[in-house]
Structure 1
């Protein structure tokens, strides 16, 4: 019933083409630059989305019980075997945590800083991840926390001289390099002081600690340590880099559950761009994450693949062959054959709150496709008793909407901005206050 109503409304309203519209001059310029890529909405081919509430055998999902027992597990398995790849299950038995830095009066006494080395195999010479944590000192413990991976090393997110600098991967050369001191605070996409002032903690780790981001990555990081679990040869459903990074986020959650300063029941997992894809996949699999946020995640993240708008399955598989499992390559230029689409990834997070955000100038990531995926997940959220997405049409620029599903499209380019952060903290306030009465 929910899906029939959604499809009927989409047909009447032109699939959400009210509200925001892309700049025609930008569409023209991008189309001229890449005539092989769809940037004109009129060129989006007709498509039919798989119904998230109809099982593979045709059974219609009409109760929450059937969703949890049958449909959700089969959707999860589809994404595991056909797109992101299958990761090792659960916390490694040998994994250990080493708190190598603890300062309860950091940043002029306003913050408790912790740095934790997570040894995935328990061995000092094995793969490990440095987790940098800032917690506000002015709020009662335990503290709700935003968790996200970063692109360039923990030392780049803040100028704090105590943050350990360690080697990062040079993606072009496929080797590790030691950053210089002058790179501290060079990528300020995490406004630590503003997050702390709102009463939230923030934790981050360098994604290259988990696995490097280049085609030959399977010889390094967690792949080198754990691929032996799959046998002598990697099977076609073995984890790709996005699945590995998502697995690393769950290992950070394993640590949070041991730290009395952190409220492990109120952890928000967030990601930007390829790490937005990662956050969605982590949140879909690991129900311990209370809120899931995708920032400009595009193709392979929140955007509907069947629209073929901006970056496509074929383009992403060619440019980043290590991100997904080998099976996913079968769907290059064959999106209509996929037994899933990204609305079903968002639906896997239900009934937990999820937020999808786009940027006005980031047409490569298909902002409308991101909104439509959130909208198409709404029937599952409604079935599970939530308010879902409280709008039918794509909202205007800089006009966020926040139900159990949240969405905004803001001015500007592909980035994680302070505007985005303020909206995400508003969203966390809305849902955490509902449960606890205070942030």
Structure 2
């Protein structure tokens, strides 16, 4: 079995008596908030602390010694369509320390600072486009043979080769993104934190913070990926070609979980796209459907904090749920998307997560999700919260990107 399991197994239904979905507008003491200021100063901090303590783990702040090194600039990349930049992010400032390579494509046809889409990738920066100028990742990589979404036989001894260029370009429509006036910014997940059980917590940034490990609210890998997205945002704020007030964060599958947590914890992200993020992302655990907490904590024990294990087999009884994480993005726009055959992610649960977050968006004076019933296949509904479900399985398709670009145009292109 591949170590990266994209197709989530469907868990058996939970037979415990379901509890009512917790209300995001009720304080921990049971009192209801009545003003936007109370949300900002009381309830939002409570929720952030609860999820950091009980699920994702606490994360460190920006490293004081972190530094950026722009090691590549090509103003005529992709046939002149884009300026390509590559930036080494040295997390502790040391050249021999953990490093994240960030790849940027900035559209040349747009003058002035442009909006951007930031997202982590699964197979290295060189996988998203066949551009020979992209530095090939030197971080650990899965062999991936037999993966239904990508052929990475180009990986030798768990290292990428030149043959891996563009192997995942189908999921990253660079030309379409650039032609709509958006920059694309990406980095490889393994540069930040290991997704391999044998090396979990021992590579990337987590060893820099031993004080955040060996405790119940430890710095988990999903939180580390989210932290890495914030460090990319730190760089963006220094780049004059990108407007830091118009940056969207995108993620698919486990990286969708990270994108959602990054959007919840870092308000610099102006918009969030949670693509088929499933359990630990947008779907509600209270439904007792799809991938459950036991599977998350046993198959992927590094993803979440140790404290989350105490909720195994208690999915329908949780005192919190993922609509509250979605609510932490409010009132900024967020898009949640599903696929019909992606049963482990529980499409209905992802829709219900978005719908249940609407109360906070409406409380803060925005529309929220503009429907109370799940839309039919291939129909996008877009308020301050957007949602669609399409045919097919766990994947990223051109249909998905078409909806996301329309949502971005509506909310941040001319903000």
* TM-score for both structures, normalised by structure 2: 0.92
Q: Where does 1:392-431 land on structure 2 (aligned, <5 Å)?
A: 392-431=372-411
Query: 1:178 Cα deviation (Å)?
Result: 2.6
1:171 deviates by 4.8
Q: Distance in 2 between matches of 1:412 and 1:316?
A: 23
After superposition, give the CA deviation of every residue in 1:161-198 in whole Å (9 maximum; x if it has no partner): 0000122324589x973312111100121110111111
> Is the partner of 1:356 in helix, strand or coil?
strand
* Residue matched to 2:152: none
Q: Given that residues 44 and 307 in structure 1 are in contact (C-alpha distance below 8 angstroms), is that contact kept between their aligned partners in structure 2?
A: no
**Distance of 1:364 and 1:44 partners within structure 2:** 20
What is the DSSP-based 3-state SS (H/G/I as helix, E as strand, rest coil) of the residue aligned with 1:66? Answer: helix
Shift of 1:362: 0.4
Structure 1 residues 102-136: Cα deviation after superposition (integer angstroms, max 9, x where no partner): 01111111110000000000001111100000011
1:131 aligns with 2:102: yes
Q: Look up the SS of the partner of 1:145 in the other structure.
A: strand
CA contact (8 A) 2:272 2:334 kept: yes
Correspondence for 2:183 among 201, 207, 222? 201
What corresponds to 2:3 in structure 1? Answer: none
Aligned-pair distance for 1:340? 0.9
Question: 1:46, CA displacement in angstroms?
Answer: 3.9
What displacement does 1:47 show?
A: 3.8
Shift of 1:45: 6.4
| Greater gyration radius | 1
What does residue range 261-340 of structure 1 map to in structure 2 within 5 Å? 261-340=241-320
Residue 19 (structure 1) aligns with: none
Task: Please tell me whether the aligned partners of residues 18 and 317 of structure 2 are also in contact (alpha carbons under 8 angstroms).
Answer: no
More helix by share: 1
Tell me the distance in 1 between the aligned counterparts of 2:173 and 2:13. 35
Question: Of 31, 37, 40, which residue of structure 1 is paired with 2:12?
Answer: 37
User: CA 1:36–1:59 in structure 2 vs 1: closer, same or farther (change >3 Å)?
Assistant: closer
* Equivalent residue runs for 1:14-53 within 5 Å: 37-38=12-13, 46-53=18-25
2:153 alignment counterpart: none
Q: Which residue of 2 aligns with 1:20?
A: none
Distance 1:419 1:306 in 2: 29
- SS of the aligned residue for 2:118 comes to strand
- 2:219 alignment counterpart: 239
Q: Identify the residue that residue 30 of structure 1 maps to in structure 2.
A: none
Indicate the residue corresponding to 2:52 in structure 1: 80
For the residues of structure 2 that align with 1:341 and 1:329, how far apart are their CA atoms? 15
How far 1:35 sits from its partner (Å)? 8.5
Ranges in structure 1 where 5+ consecutive residues have no aligned partner:
1-32
1:57 and 2:29 are equivalent in the alignment:
yes
Superimposed CA distance per residue, residues 72-125 of structure 1 (whole angstroms, 9 cap, x where no aligned partner) = 100110100000000102x21100000000011111111100000000000011
| 1:113 paired residue number | 84
Q: Who is 1:184 aligned against?
A: 165
| Alignment of 1:147 onto 2:130 | no
1:27 corresponds to: none
TM-score scaled by length of structure 1: 0.87
More off after superposition, 110-119 vs 212-221: 212-221
- Counterpart secondary structure, 1:258: coil
Give the aligned partner of residue 6 of structure 1: none
Give the drift of 1:49: 0.6
Asked if 1 retains the 8 angstrom alpha-carbon contact of 2:68 and 2:235, the reply is yes
**Does the Cα contact within 8 Å between 1:38 and 1:44 map onto a contact in 2?**
no
Q: Which aligned segments of 4 or more residues in structure 1 are displaced greater than 3 angstroms? A: 33-36, 43-47, 170-173
Aligned-partner SS, 1:54: coil
Per-residue Cα deviation, 1:185-236 (whole angstroms, up to 9, x for no partner): 0012111011111111101000000011023411111111122x44xx6211
Moved more, 163-172 or 404-413: 163-172
Q: Distance in 2 between matches of 1:38 and 1:107?
A: 49
Structure 1 residues 310 and 48: CA distance shift in structure 2, 3 A: same
Alignment partner of 1:185: what SS?
coil
SS at match of 1:71: helix
Distance 1:255 1:34 in 2: 37
Partner of 2:138: 167
For residues 217 and 289 of structure 2, the distance between their equivalents in structure 1, rounded to whole angstroms, comes to 26
Relative to 1, partners in 2 of residues 1:45 and 1:202: Cα closer, same or farther, differing over 3 Å? farther
Question: Partners in 2 of 1:172 and 1:312 — Cα distance?
Answer: 27
How many angstroms apart in 1 are the aligned matches of 2:259 and 2:374? 23
Q: Is the 8 A contact 1:381 1:388 kept in 2?
A: yes
Q: What stretches of structure 2 of length at least 5 have no aligned partner?
A: 1-7, 145-155
Contact 1:45 / 1:307 at 8 angstroms: preserved in 2? no
Deviation at 1:34, TM superposition (A): 7.3
Contact 1:167 1:176 (8 Å CA) reproduced: no
| Map of 1:371 onto structure 2 | 351
